[in-house]
Amino acid sequence: MLFGTIAPVMESSPESRTIEAVSTVLIAAPVNLNWSQGGMTGGAVRESVKRLGDLKGIFRDEDAWGAMDPNTEVYRVRWWPAVPHGEEGGLFWGVTVLQPGKVGREYFMTHGHFHADRTRAEYYATAAGRGILVRMGTEWRTWGENMSPNTLHYIRGEHAHRVVNVGDDPLIFWACWGSDAGYDYETIRQNGFGASVMERDGAPAIVAHE
Ligand code: MN
C-alpha cells in the first residue's frame, strides 16, 4: 500500500498566491495488517512464539502439562516496535494469535503480566474467536471480561492482564501499548493471578484460588 504525502505549497508572493511547485512523494507503509487473520507484514515486524514448554508453572495441572508435547504452539505475537523499547511516550502495535486447547481443564492462555511502569495502559481489540480477558488489581482481586469479535478493552496501567482462549478457534486480538510500559512477569511468576479459567460442565468458569 502506498500513502501520498503532499509537499508544502510554495508561494511566489503573498499577493499572487500562485502555486509555484507541488510535488507528491509516495511512501510505502512500513507495516501492513491483515485484520481478521492477525497478519502483520513489513521489515520492521517482530514475531515471538510461546510453546507449552515455555509456559512452565503457569497452568494449574502440572502433570497434564508435563504429559503434553512441549512443542505445541500456544500463542504467537507479532508487533511493530516503531520506536526503541523504553522510549518515553512512544507506542507499540501488535497482534496475538492464541490457539484453542486445554491443559487438563484449564484453557490455553497467555503468560500474563503487569507493566513495569504501572501508569502505562493498553488497548486490546478482538478480531476473531472467543476469549476471556483476565484482569487483576491489588490484593489479587481478579475478574474476567468477555472477548468476542469487535470488543474493545481498555486496560488500566495498574492491572495485570492475561488472555484465555475459551473457544474452538484461534483467538486473535490487536493491542496498542506504550513503548515505555515495560514488563513485570516476575510478580505473576511468584504469585499468579487470583483466579483461573477452567472448563466446568463443558463451559468456561472463573475459579477463584483460596
Ligand atoms: Mn501488556
Q: Does residue 180 carry a pLDDT above 60? A: yes
Q: How far is the CA of 208 from the centre of ligand 1 (A)?
A: 22
- Counting Cβ atoms within 10 Å, is residue 119 exposed (0-12), middle (13-18) or buried (19+)? exposed
Supply φ then ψ for residue 164, to 5 degrees: -120, 130
Residue corresponding to grid cell 511516550: 89
Name which of 100, 105, 43 is nearest 75 in CA terms. Answer: 100
- pLDDT averaged over every residue in the chain: 91
Q: Taking the complete model, does pTM exceed 0.85, yes or no?
A: yes
184 CA distance to ligand 1 middle (Å) = 9
Reported as a single tens digit per residue, the pLDDT across 97-110 is: 999 999 999 999 99
Question: Residues of the chain with pLDDT > 90: what percent?
Answer: 81
Query: What sign does the dihedral 125-130-135-141 (CA atoms) show?
Result: positive
User: How many whole angstroms separate alpha carbon 161 and alpha carbon 124?
Assistant: 10
| Separation of CA 113 and ligand 1 centre (Å) | 6
**Interval between CA 5 and ligand 1 midpoint (Å):** 33
Domains along the chain with CATH numbers? 32-208 (2.60.120.10)
| Beta carbons within 8 Å of 125's beta carbon, 6+ residues apart | 150, 151, 152, 153, 173, 174, 175
Q: 31 vs 8, which has greater pLDDT?
A: 31
Q: pLDDT by residue (tens digit) across 66-100?
A: 999 999 999 999 999 999 999 999 999 999 999 99
CA of 114 to the centre of ligand 1 (A): 7
Look at residue 57 and tell me whether its pLDDT is greater than 70.
yes
Q: What is the CA(14)–ligand 1 centre distance, in A? A: 51
Q: What are the tens digits of pLDDT across the range 105-156?
A: 999 999 999 999 999 999 999 999 999 999 999 889 999 999 999 999 999 9
* CA dist 93 → 42, 43, 57, 83, 124 (Å): 13, 14, 28, 11, 10
> How close is the Cα of 86 to the center of ligand 1, in Å?
14
The average pLDDT across 164-168 equals 98
CA of 204 to the centre of ligand 1 (A): 23
Distance CA 169, CA 156 (A): 28
β-bridge mates for residue 67, sequence order: none
Confidence (pLDDT) at 6: 47
25 Cα: distance to centroid of ligand 1 (angstroms): 36
Is residue 2 over pLDDT 90? no
Residue 181 Cα to ligand 1 midpoint, Å, equals 8
